[in-house]
Structure 1
């Protein structure tokens, strides 16, 4: 997920009432490291970095920015105020109005028309956020995909296309449900996906980051030993990619995947 064009998913955030539990769980499962920094409003913000990665990929507010315990995706914006007004016209609702981000930029939190939480973020002036690592094989533990599950796939596809310029490719390799790879601005191929959950039992609508692991079944068993529950999978696509959807011990949803075997 190296692209940083407006409309790209560039970050994730964790909201939890027990930050230390989240650090313990993901640190053990995925090897994440954490760096806590003060922010202007008196709270703290913990940067999340995959093991060996040069830059962080997500963050954790202390205390939580919203009352629910969840991970949410953050989309880059060229102008947050303009985007918030436009997104409201498209049916989104504002959860947290535009304000300062932890890095000195600006961000706002919203829900899409299906009620799924997301953020828009504008980098601070003079920030070198465009200097991201180039494309290549992502590191284990890193966010290398995202997934939006929706019980109304056409409505969700339309919203994110209108909101952020996403295009879609039907991924026929996923056989358990209709699945569409989302090609975000600046990307040559999909960097996330939308899954049709209209026939699913239980949870239907969510958005969550997907983290790379060398072996999904092994990681799922380790996650379960640490108190997580498996919601779906492990499942392997027709082209050999394996993935699973889980909830951590706090009930926070995330996904794991491993790449197809090399020939």
Structure 2
């Protein structure tokens, strides 16, 4: 896991769309120690920066539609949003929002892969994204959960030029062979009940302790803490508004 800075083609930012921003502020403060500040400008739409110290590490936003399911969205850095949107469409994906400018901060678009997994594209100007990775409370990994792994293997390298390191157990995504994320296949009840999605994993000092904190803060454990070969621990949690995310020891 070698996320260390925003690089074209890699994750650079994560945003939570939620039905209850104040509750999300409280939950993630308890879990990760985030300090959240809401932009007071009406045109910002309640956009809230989550910080560790003075460093922005994530964002919380109000749901834009009443029927919108709370969820995390992973943003990938690009040097040209418009060109990447063209690549998404050429590879069979869909443009959902944009491209559009965000004040002086950058340019973005929201897209979906052919199976429907949503992600964002970010072309940095004044704001590059998070400057801290793989530290406690920050993004360390991004995982695609999809019912169509073969389609994803065709789509993402065509759009971003990603390298693929696949075994029977897991598929790793990388840029120039440097892995930043992975992919798991959805099947059974998950494939029937849950849409394809990109899920962020946040680094924590101790997975079992953080998972217990999530339960005490009214969250859930979708996958209880478990130890992977090599000694790393992971878990998948859900916040009180039911947005899923992972935690891991980096």
Aligned residues: 244
CA deviations 1:74-114 (Å, max 9, x no partner) are 01111111211221121211221211226531101111111
Long gaps (5+) in structure 2: none
- Please give the root-mean-square deviation of Cα atoms over the aligned residues, in Å: 2.5
Task: Choose between structure 1 and 2: higher helix proportion.
Answer: 2
Tell me the SS of whatever aligns to 1:114: coil
Long gaps (5+) in structure 1: 173-177
What is the match of residue 155 of structure 2? 159
What is the match of residue 70 of structure 1? 71
2 CA distance for matches of 1:109 and 1:128? 17
- TM-score scaled by length of structure 1: 0.83
In the TM superposition, what is the alpha-carbon distance from 1:37 to its structure 2 partner? 2.5
What is the match of residue 123 of structure 1? 124
Task: Choose between structure 1 and 2: higher strand proportion.
Answer: 2
- TM-score scaled by length of structure 2: 0.87
Tell me the SS of whatever aligns to 1:254: strand
When structure 1 is superposed on structure 2, of 19-28 and 34-43 the one drifting more is: 34-43
What is the match of residue 50 of structure 2? 48
Tell me the SS of whatever aligns to 1:84: helix
CA deviations 1:34-86 (Å, max 9, x no partner) are 1222558352321122x34x53122123x334533110000111111121122
Shift in alpha-carbon separation, 1:251–1:102, aligned structure 2, 3 A: farther
In the TM superposition, what is the alpha-carbon distance from 1:2 to its structure 2 partner? 2.1
What is the match of residue 213 of structure 1? 204
- Runs of 4+ aligned residues of structure 1 deviating over 6 Å after TM superposition are none
Tell me which of 132, 139, 150 is aligned to 2:135: 139
Tell me the SS of whatever aligns to 1:87: helix
What is the match of residue 183 of structure 2? 194
What is the match of residue 114 of structure 2? 113
Tell me the SS of whatever aligns to 1:251: coil
Tell me the SS of whatever aligns to 2:55: coil
What is the match of residue 175 of structure 1? none
Tell me which of 170, 180, 188 is aligned to 2:171: 180
CA deviations 1:145-184 (Å, max 9, x no partner) are 1111112212112211111111122367xxxxx3112113
What is the match of residue 91 of structure 2? 90
2 CA distance for matches of 1:99 and 1:38? 21
Shift in alpha-carbon separation, 1:42–1:245, aligned structure 2, 3 A: closer
Q: Tell me which of the two structures has the higher relative contact order, counting C-alpha pairs closer than 8 angstroms and 6 or more residues apart.
A: 2
What is the match of residue 145 of structure 2? 149
